[in-house]
Amino acid sequence: MTSESTPLLVALVLAVAAATNPGEAAAPQHDLEIIAFAPRPGYETGALVQIEVEIGNRGPARWSAEGGFALSYHWFDEGGGVVVRDGRRTPLVEPVGPGENLVLSAELLTPERPGTYLLQWDVVHEGVLWVTEVDPTPPQLVPITVAPSHAFTLVDGRAPRFLTAGGAGSTRLRVRNDGLRTWPANHTVSLAYHWLSGRGEPVEWEGRRTAVEVAVPPGETVTLDAVVAAPHAAGRFRLQWDMVEDGVCWFSERSDVPAESTVLVAPPPPTVLGWGWTGLVAVAAVAVIRRGRRGGVEGGFAAVDLGWLVGAVTVKQAWLLSVAGPGLSMSGWFLTLASGLVIAALLAAFGGRFRPWFSWLLAAAATATIFVDALHERFFGDLVSVAALQSASQVSRVEASVRSLLQPGDLWLWADLVAGMVVVASLTRFRVDQRLSRRASVWAASAAAVLTAAGFTVMDRSVSMRQIFHTTHLARQVGVLNLHAVDVGSSLLRAARRPHLDDAAFGEVVEYFEKNRGRRSGAGPLFGAARSRNLLMIQVESLQAFVIGMRVGGVEVTPNLNALAWESVFVGEAADQTEEGRSSDAELASQVSLLPPDRGAAAFLFAGNGFTGLASILAERGYATVSAVPFDGAFWNRRATHRAYGYEHSLFAEDFTPGVNVGWGLNDRDFLIQAADRLSELPEPWCAYLLTLSLHHPFQGFPDELKRLDVGRWEGTPFGNFLHTMHHFDGALALLEDELSAAGLAERTVIALWGDHDAGFEWRPEIAAAMGYAGDSTGWYLSQRVPFIVRVPGLGAPSEPGPIPAGHTDVAPTLLALLGVDPAAFAFVGRNLLGAPGPGPVVGEYRCWHDATHVYLRRGPRLGDGLCVEFETLEEVEVERCRSGFEEARRQVEISRRVLEHDLQQRLLDELVR
C-alpha cells in the first residue's frame, strides 16, 4: 500500500497505464461506490462520531469481514496532503458481493486540529491493499469543516512580569469560550499554564490550575483569579497560558492558544539572603587579608571569625525554615542569635590561637546538619532526628531518591565555608590582638542572655518541647540547632536510663487491652471461614487506594486488582499509618498491630523486642512461614525484624534470579513469578509475606519496554510513571494467580493485599483532581489511604460490606480471625474488621485520625489546635465533635508507645490469656 500519494494520483497512473497497454490491462477487481453519505455542516476536533454510510461493490471481488475487509477512510488537507491515512475500521456486518449494497453505521474520528479537510471513504483489505489504490473510479473527496471543541481567548489581563523562583503571583484574567462545548460548572475545566525555556522547550508543563466554577456556554466569558507559581530556578522564561479539561485534553491539543509572554524569574529571597551572606563573607576575607598585610589584625577585625560563625549559623537556619514554611518567628530569631553568641563567647574566652579553626569547624558542622535537615524535610516534610539517624546507613541504597532532592540553590550553603576558610587562615597567619576578643566574650554572653530572655518572653505560649504535627513548627519558635541540641540531650538521657514502667502503668496497659477485647475478638460469621488454609500477604510499594477502579485513556489501570476486589470478603481504604519508617512501619503495623513511633524507625529502635507477630502465632499452630523482598536484607533491618515478627525463613535479593530492575530492585513480574515457585515447594498450610519494590519515589526511569498504558499528558512525569508502575504490578498479580492455580494452590489460599504507604506526590491541584479529591488539607489526608483487600476462595463479597474505618494495624487481627485464631488474647491495637470493630478512630500519618463520622487533622498537642471535618460532607465542624475520637486516638498512640518502649507484647500475652 502507498502512504503518501493521493487516490486521484493513483487513479491517474492506472488510467495512463491502461491506455498505454490496452491489451495488457487487467479488469479491475475492486470498485467502490459511496451511494449515500450525508455529513453535517461541521464537526468537533478530535470527536468520535457515528455516521451512516451506504456503500456499493461494483467490482467482481466479494468483500467480507472474514476475508479481512472493512470500511475505513482517509483525511487530507485542502492541498491533497495526507493528514490521516489509517482511519478507524468499521467491520462489514455482512458480506458484500458484486453489485450489492450495504448500509453501515461507521465510526469517524475527526482530526485533532481545526480547519477544512477532505474526507475520502475507502475499503481496506487488511495487509493487502486499499480499494482506492486500484479503483478505476475512486470515491470523491468531500470537504468537511472541523471546528475546535476546546478553544479559548484571553479577552483581558496578562501574566505577571516578574516572579521569584519558587514563589507565586496572581493575576485576574477574563477568558472567552471559543469552542463548541459549554464549560461545565463542576471544576473539570481549568485555566492553567506551561513554563517554557527561552528556546521554547518545556520546563514545567503542569502549571497550577484555576478551576472554572460556573457554566460558560460558547461565546461567553468568565473572570478568573489565577495563581502563577514560578519555576524553582531563576532566569528568563516564557509563560504559555492553556486550559485543560480533566481526563480529556489540553486545549492546545485542539486549537491555537494565546501568544507566549516573557517572565523574569528572580532568585527567591532565601537564596538572595544566602548568596548575599556569602558575598559579605568574601568581602570580610579580603578586608582581613589587606589589614594583615598592613601590620596585624586588631580591633573588630580580630573577632571577624566569631562574627562569621554567628552570622553563618543564623542565616542558614533562617534559610532552612523559610523554604520549609513561614520562617523563624520573633522568638526564633532571638533564640537562634542567642545560641550563636553563647558559642562565640565560649570560643573567645577559651579558644586560644586555634580559635579561628574551631570557628570554621563548628560552622562546617552546623552547615552539614542544616543540609541534611533540608533533604530530610523535602522527603519526609520534617527535620531529622536522632532516632531517624539510626537508618542513615541506608542512604547509599536509595541514591535516586536522595539525588532527586538536591537543588542548585543548595550550593550557597557551602560557598561561605570557602570564604570563611580564607578568613580563618588569614587570622592564623597574621598577628592577631586577642584582647578585644576576650572582652568580646563578655559582651557576647551578655547579649545572649538578653536575647534568650526576650525569646522566651515573646514565644508562643502554646508551644511545648513535645513532638507536634511537624518539628518545623517547634524549630520556628526556638531555632533549628537549639531543637537538635534538646533532641540529642533527650536521646542521651533515654539511653542512659530506660524509663521504668511501674505496676500501675502496666496495669493501665492491661486494662486498655481488656477493655477493647471485643473489637479484636474472633466474632462474626466469618470467624474461622478460612481455617487451615494458606495465607498469602502482599504489601505493594506505594499503592494508593485511588488507583482501584481508575481509568486512563479509557483503560483500567488495575483491572486484575479490580476483579480481585469484586470477589473479596473485605475491601477497604485503610489509613496510611506509617511515619518516618515508611515501608518498615507498614511491616510493624500490619504484622504486630502496633502503631510505629512518630520519630525514627521501629525497625532499628525495637528490632530486639519479643513481638507476638502474626507469623509467630501461625507458626505455633503448624504453619510454615516465609517472607520475601527482592532487596538487600539489611535495608530497614529486615533480617532482624522479619525474624522478630516470627518468619522462619526470609528471602532477599540474593535468593532470586536477576532480571530487569525497576526502581530499587527486581521488577514485580519476575519477583512474583519466582515467589510463586517457592510457595509451591512449601509444606501446607503456609503463611507468606511478599513485599514488592517497583517503583518508588521519585518515580523516575520506568522502562519503556514495560509500559502498556497511554497516560496522556502525564507521560514522562512522576505521576505517569506511578500509573505505569501500578499497571505493571497489576499484570504481575495476574501472573502470580495463574501460577498458584497451575500449582493447585489457588483454592486453598487466602490472598490479602495492601499498600505500604502514600507515594509522596507534591499536593498540587492537578494531582488532587487526578486522584479524585479536593485540593485542600482534608483531601490530601484522605488521598493518602491505601487499599486493603482480602479474598477467601469460595466466599464472595458481602452483600452490604459498608464503609469501615481501617488501618495497617487491623491486618493481623482480621487475618487471624479468618484463619480461626481468636485475636482477643494478643496485645493488638488493631481490630478484627470482620467481627465487631466499632467505628474507630483509626490513627494515620502525623497522628491525624478518622472514624466513621469525622476526620481530624492534628496540628498540635491540644484538641483545639486541629481541624474537625464531617466525613460525609467534608465540611469543617466545631472541634468538640471530635473530642471523644481525639482522646481515644491519643490513648492508642500512648499504649503503642509503652508496649514498644518496654517490650510488653509477650508479657501482656500472659496476662490476657488468663
Residue 373, pLDDT above cutoff 90: no
Does the pLDDT value for residue 543 go beyond 80?
yes
Helices (H), 228-354: 269-293, 304-324, 330-350
- Pair 157, 221: CB distance under 8 Å: no
- Whether the CB-CB separation of 816 and 833 falls below 8 Å is answered with no
Asked whether residue 836 carries a pLDDT value surpassing 80, the answer given is yes
Residues 6+ apart with CB under 8 A from 697: 379, 401, 404, 542, 759, 760
pLDDT class for 141, splitting at 50, 70, 90? Answer: very high
pLDDT band for position 313 (50/70/90)?
confident
Confidence (pLDDT) at 502:
87
Residue 630 has pLDDT above 80, yes or no: yes
Q: Other C-beta atoms within 10 Å of 537: how many? A: 23
* pLDDT tens per residue across span 196-206: 988 888 888 88
Asked whether residue 305 carries a pLDDT value surpassing 70, the answer given is yes
Which pLDDT band, with edges at 50, 70 and 90, does 745 fall under?
A: very high
Is residue 892 within 8 A of residue 811, CB to CB? The reply is no
- Grid coordinates standing for 211? 478551576
Mean pLDDT of the chain: 84
Pick the closest to residue 53 from 89, 8, 3 (CA basis).
89
Kindly report the CA angle at 817 between 523 and 890, in degrees rounded to 5?
80
Q: Does the pLDDT value for residue 392 go beyond 80?
A: no
**511 C-beta neighbours (distance < 10 Å), count:** 11
C-beta of residue 721 within 8 angstroms of C-beta of residue 703: no
What's this model's pTM, rounded to 2 decimal places?
A: 0.60
Peptide bond into 685 cis (omega under 30): yes
Q: What CA–CA distances, in Å, run from 379 to 297, 382, 522, 912?
A: 45, 8, 40, 40
Q: What amino acid occupies position 226?
A: A
The residues pairing with 751 across neighbouring beta strands, listed in sequence order, are: 536, 791
Q: Please report which helix (H) or strand (E) contains residue 807, including its range.
A: strand 806-807
Rounded to 10 degrees, what is the CA torsion of 582, 585, 591, 594?
A: -150
Question: What is the DSSP annotation of 424-467?
Answer: HHHHHHS-B--HHHHHHHHHHHHHHHHHHHHHHHHS-TT--SS-
Q: Comparing 154 with 379, which gets the higher pLDDT?
A: 154
Q: What is the pLDDT of residues 404-439, one digit of tens each?
A: 677 777 787 888 888 778 777 777 765 555 555 556
Q: By three-state DSSP, how is residue 779 classified?
A: helix
Residue 247 C-alpha cell reads as 481526563
Binned at pLDDT 50, 70 and 90, residue 456 comes out as low
Tell me: pLDDT of 893 over 60.
Answer: yes
Rounded to 5, what percent of the chain is helix, strand, coil? 40, 20, 35
Q: 470 with 380: CB under 8 angstroms? A: no
Question: How many C-alpha atoms does 752 have within 13 Å on its Cβ side?
Answer: 24
- 61 closest CA partner among 100, 117, 112: 100
Would you state the pLDDT for residue 465? Answer: 37
Cell 492558544 locates to 257
More confident residue, 758 or 537: 537
φ, ψ for residue 884, nearest 5 deg: -65, -40
E strand spans, 197-229? 202-204, 210-211, 221-229
Report CA torsion sign: 887, 893, 894, 895: positive
Q: In this predicted model, what pLDDT tens digit does every residue of 231-272 receive, in sequence order?
A: 877 889 999 999 998 878 889 888 888 888 899 988 766 666
pLDDT bucket at 755, cuts 50 / 70 / 90: very high
What's the mean pLDDT in 788-797? 86
**pLDDT tens digits, residue range 700-730?**
778 888 888 988 888 888 898 999 999 999 9
Determine the distance from the C-alpha atom of residue 267 to the mean position of all C-alpha atoms in its chain, rounded to a whole number: 27
Q: Are strands 649-651 and 624-628 parallel, antiparallel or unpaired?
A: parallel
What does the pLDDT read at residue 9?
A: 42
* Residue 23 pLDDT: 41
Rounded CA-CA distance 555/549 in Å is 10
Q: What pLDDT score was predicted for residue 571?
A: 83
User: pLDDT (tens digit, 9 = 90+) per residue, 551-581?
Assistant: 998 899 999 999 988 888 888 889 999 988 8
Residue 469: pLDDT band (50, 70, 90) is very low
Query: How far apart are alpha carbons 782 and 805 in whole angstroms?
Result: 12
pLDDT band at 646 (very low <50, low <70, confident <90, very high): very high
pLDDT value at 346 more than 90: no
Confidence of residue 683 (pLDDT cuts 50, 70, 90): very high
Distance of alpha carbon 392 from alpha carbon 832, whole angstroms: 36
How far is 818 from 815, CA to CA, in rounded Å?
5
Selection from 594, 630, 320 nearest residue 481 by Cα: 320
- The 10s digit of each residue's pLDDT in 164-178 is 887 788 899 999 999
